[in-house]
């Protein structure tokens, strides 16, 4: 289940503090709440709570699930000082070693928590989150002020997505030793989203994001390019990501409208809860501007709400295309991605500037990224996808078709493109 994303108003900010990438203006946008998993506990938490606690600093609270940020246990008091002493003594090797993942940002102490994460772990886990990363992995906290020297980094590019569109598959396909590495939803970027929503200083956020990107850009091997697939909660920071890294490029990945709606109904109750949380986040950022009143939205079906959220994200992506242009942005829909993996990989390599031989591209297009399930790692080929999709369509055909027609009408009235410009496969 992908994270929720949103967009909103933004302001231009100069970077005043020295950082690994220098001083550049960037845009920091307002952010929405997000959530990843929808298990039984999520439904239970919808009951009226006996008490209500305000969200505090991520490093000070025990592990839990809450909208907006991914949560991790704080360092225990008896281990904090020892780990910080060790960090101070050994920080330089950590900065030079990409296996030390910049995993969390603890705003109360203004420090980054590093997690020892070998490349094999990256390859094994679905996402770089507490749920999937090994709990026994070594962790070290280093104050942000101690990360001063220029970091030896590689170029980075991005896969930005609107959920249920094979983004994890694409990130897995970018794991090509010696050439590229795909980073699947690093939690530190989610932490910055949560920090922003809690009212941080935007100048400090800009500097922290800059350093976080520099740390995420460290290659496992010389000459490799790191390709970051953030959670889609990070989409609203896209102008800042591209502003801080003017040489970076981004794929905007999305599912066609009917495919997105089918994915939602296929996931049953949890999918329908997810789209309502998505809608709530987009609405809080004043991004749901489709011409309906709140009362009218309240009366809309789950799938209409899903379509409204899809339209809002589609509108945002189209504006990113206008702002950054074909030199830095290309779009890709999931149907085209799956239809011809080899052609897609060839175009992707050209856009990202990856020097891949035809044999390597063919091996990737026929490899595990396209033939196994991104979550379970079990065999899951094109025919399996079609069968799963067809079963969901057959069970919910009437609802999907009616809502698709409704959404297409809304899109036409509001000037929202159903197909994004700057397609990768026509480049």
Which region among 130-134, 233-237, 310-314 has the lowest average model confidence (pLDDT)?
A: 233-237
Which residues face 65 on adjacent strands? 70
**pTM surpassing 0.75?**
yes
In this predicted structure, the answer to whether residue 349 has a pLDDT above a threshold of 60 is yes
Give the pLDDT of residue 299. 95
Give the residue-averaged pLDDT of 318-339: 97
In this predicted structure, the answer to whether residue 24 has a pLDDT above a threshold of 70 is no
Give the pLDDT of residue 346. 98
Give the residue-averaged pLDDT of 148-161: 83
Tell me the pLDDT band of 427, cut-offs 50, 70 and 90: low
Give the pLDDT of residue 408. 98
In this predicted structure, the answer to whether residue 46 has a pLDDT above a threshold of 90 is no
Closest by alpha carbon to 89, among 145, 151, 140, 153? 140
Give the residue-averaged pLDDT of 3-31: 34
How many of the other CB atoms lie within 10 Å of CB of 390?
A: 11
In this predicted structure, the answer to whether residue 36 has a pLDDT above a threshold of 50 is no
Q: Higher model confidence: residue 359 or residue 287?
A: 359
Q: Which residue has the tokens 């069968």?
A: 387
Give the residue-averaged pLDDT of 233-246: 91
Give the pLDDT of residue 174. 97
pLDDT digits (tens, 9 = 90+) for 112-122: 999 999 999 99
- For the segment(s) 10-40+153-426, the CATH number from 2.60.120, 1.10.10, 3.40.50, 3.30.70 is 3.40.50
In this predicted structure, the answer to whether residue 49 has a pLDDT above a threshold of 70 is no
In this predicted structure, the answer to whether residue 3 has a pLDDT above a threshold of 50 is no
pLDDT digits (tens, 9 = 90+) for 61-77: 222 332 333 333 344 44
Give the residue-averaged pLDDT of 120-146: 94
Domain residue limits, the chain? 10-40+153-426
Give the rounded percent of residues in the chain with a pLDDT score beyond 70: 77
Tell me the pLDDT band of 159, cut-offs 50, 70 and 90: very high
Q: Higher model confidence: residue 179 or residue 151?
A: 179
Give the pLDDT of residue 398. 95
User: If you average pLDDT over every residue of the chain, what do you get?
Assistant: 81
In this predicted structure, the answer to whether residue 192 has a pLDDT above a threshold of 80 is yes
179, HSE (Cβ side, Cα atoms, 13 Å): 16
In this predicted structure, the answer to whether residue 250 has a pLDDT above a threshold of 60 is yes
Which region among 165-179, 284-298, 340-354 has the lowest average model confidence (pLDDT)?
A: 284-298
pLDDT digits (tens, 9 = 90+) for 359-384: 999 999 999 999 998 777 788 878 88
Closest by alpha carbon to 165, among 399, 337, 349, 298? 337
In this predicted structure, the answer to whether residue 5 has a pLDDT above a threshold of 80 is no
Give the pLDDT of residue 343. 97
Tell me the pLDDT band of 277, cut-offs 50, 70 and 90: confident
In this predicted structure, the answer to whether residue 336 has a pLDDT above a threshold of 90 is yes
How many of the other CB atoms lie within 10 Å of CB of 147?
A: 20
Q: Which residues contact 89 (CB under 8 A, 6 or more apart)?
A: none
Give the pLDDT of residue 90. 54
């Amino acid at each position: 289940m992908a994270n929720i994303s949103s967009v909103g108003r933004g302001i231009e900010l100069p970077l005043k503090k020295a950082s690994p990438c220098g001083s550049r203006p960037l845009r920091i946008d307002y952010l929405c709440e997000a959530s990843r998993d929808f298990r039984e506990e999520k439904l239970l938490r919808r009951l009226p709570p006996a008490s209500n606690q305000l969200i505090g600093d991520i490093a000070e609270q025990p592990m839990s699930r809450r909208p907006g940020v991914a949560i991790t246990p704080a360092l225990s008091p008896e281990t904090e000082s020892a780990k910080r002493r060790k960090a101070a003594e050994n920080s330089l090797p950590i900065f030079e070693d990409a296996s030390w993942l910049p995993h969390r940002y603890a705003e109360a102490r203004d420090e980054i928590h590093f997690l020892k994460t070998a490349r094999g772990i990256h390859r094994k886990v679905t996402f770089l989150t507490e749920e999937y990363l090994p709990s026994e992995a070594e962790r070290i906290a280093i104050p942000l002020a101690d990360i001063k020297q220029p970091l030896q980094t590689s170029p980075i590019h991005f896969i930005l997505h609107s959920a249920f569109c094979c983004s994890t598959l694409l990130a897995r396909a970018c794991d090509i030793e010696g050439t590229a590495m795909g980073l699947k939803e690093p939690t530190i970027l989610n932490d910055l989203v949560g920090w922003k929503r809690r009212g941080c200083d935007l100048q400090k956020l800009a500097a922290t994001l800059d350093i976080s990107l520099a740390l995420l850009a460290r290659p496992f091997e010389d000459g490799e390019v790191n390709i970051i697939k953030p959670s889609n909660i990070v989409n609203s920071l896209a102008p800042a990501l591209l502003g801080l890294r003017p040489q970076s490029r981004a794929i905007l990945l999305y599912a066609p409208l009917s495919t997105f709606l089918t994915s939602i109904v296929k996931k049953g109750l949890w999918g329908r809860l997810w789209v309502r949380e998505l809608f709530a986040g987009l609405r809080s950022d004043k991004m749901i501007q489709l011409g309906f009143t709140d009362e009218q939205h309240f009366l809309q079906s789950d799938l209409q709400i899903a379509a409204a959220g899809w339209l809002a994200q589609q509108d945002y992506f189209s504006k990113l295309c206008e702002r950054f242009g074909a030199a830095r942005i290309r779009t890709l829909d999931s149907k085209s991605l799956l239809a011809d993996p080899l052609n897609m990989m060839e175009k992707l390599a050209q856009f990202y500037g990856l020097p891949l031989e035809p044999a390597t591209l063919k091996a990737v297009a026929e490899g595990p990224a396209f033939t196994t399930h991104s979550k379970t790692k079990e065999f899951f080929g094109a025919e399996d996808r079609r069968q799963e999709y067809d079963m969901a369509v057959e069970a919910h055909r009437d609802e999907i078709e009616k809502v698709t027609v409704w959404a297409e009408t809304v899109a036409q009235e509001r000037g929202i493109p159903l197909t994004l410009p700057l397609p990768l496969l026509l480049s």
